[in-house]
Each structure stands twice: as structure tokens, then as C-alpha cells.
Amino acid sequence: MGTTYYTNPVVFLINTLFGLYILALMLRFLFQWMDADYYNPVSQFLVNITQPPLKLLRRLIPSIGRIDSASIVLIIGLQMLAGAAIFFSNGVSVSVAGLFIWALTELIGLLINVFLFSIIIRALISWINPDSYNPAVSLLYNLTEPLLGLGRKIIPPLSGMDLSPLLVIIGLQMLKMLVLPPLEQMMLLLS
């Protein structure tokens, strides 16, 4: 049994635990930024699990306008900590600058994926049961509507068929292909 026998489960565990908490922080930030319903049960769940560290950080890091700076700092810090643990468990040394670029790359990829999956789920829900109220669905609509609204300005609904999800998904995939590889190359240069 090689070192990867133990390393792979450790990396999986680090990715899962840190990834879920970072996702919760990112969703809280996005819902807050999009003015989603604060009293929605899903929003309240996210607030409750992310409040302790944010409460401490907000004492040191003030918000800048509508941007919750403490959330951004915590998200980046946790992603860098996860990256350091992953690289260390694999026996790879990375500079702080390289680790920062790696964290930024991972977070941008996560942000794009959040929007991609949210739009796909929203499209599926609209086909299955478009008129039901559900707290999670209302948050999904709050999250995706700004992007889909832009898509509808470019391609208005044709014969009752809304093609904006398709346009936005293509745009997000293109963004992913154009932004992430240069960041990954920069990380390799800084390592």
C-alpha cells in the first residue's frame, strides 16, 4: 500500500468538510447580496451555521457597502487552509501566493458551479411543478433571476419557450473555460 492509500481518503475528507462549510458561507453571502428573504428557513439555517465565526470577524473587518467583507475573508481563508492541508498531505509545498491563487481559482469555480446547478435545477422545477411554493425554490429564484433576466434581454421568450437558461449556462461554461486555466497557470508559476 502506497501513500495514496491513506492520502486519498484524507484529501476527500478535507475537501468534503471544508467544501460544505465554504458552500454554506458562499450561499449566505449570495443570498444576502441578492436580498433574498432573511426569514426563509433555508436562509436561517445558513445564518445559524455560519454566524459564530462571522460574528468574530465582523468586529475586525467592516462591510464595504453591500459587500460583507468578513464573509469573503473567511471564505478565502478557509479555502486556503483546505488547500494547505491537501498540499501538505500530498507532500507538496506551495507558496502563500500560490495557495492564494489556488484558493481563488477553486472559489471562482465553485461560484460558477453554484449558478450552473441552480439554473439547471430551476429549469427542471419549472417543467415539473412550476406553481408550488417552497422556501428553497424561492431562494433559488432569487439567486438565478438576475442572470436569467440578463439572458431574457438578449433572447426574449419565443412562443412561450424561455431559452435564457440555455444561454446563461453556455455563458457560464465559457466563463469557466476562459477564467480558470490562466489562474491555474499563474498558481503553477508562483509555486
**pTM of this structure:** 0.90
Integer Cα distance of 112 and 114 in angstroms: 5
pLDDT of residue 132: 65
Positions of the chain with pLDDT lower than 70, given as ranges? 1-4, 130-132
pLDDT of residue 93: 87
Q: What sign does the dihedral 166-169-173-174 (CA atoms) show?
A: positive
pLDDT of residue 3: 59
pLDDT of residue 1: 45
pLDDT of residue 56: 94
How is 117-130 classified by DSSP, letter by letter? Answer: HHHHHHHHHHHH-T
Integer Cα distance of 74 and 68 in angstroms: 10
pLDDT of residue 58: 93
pLDDT of residue 7: 73
Per-residue DSSP letter, 95: -
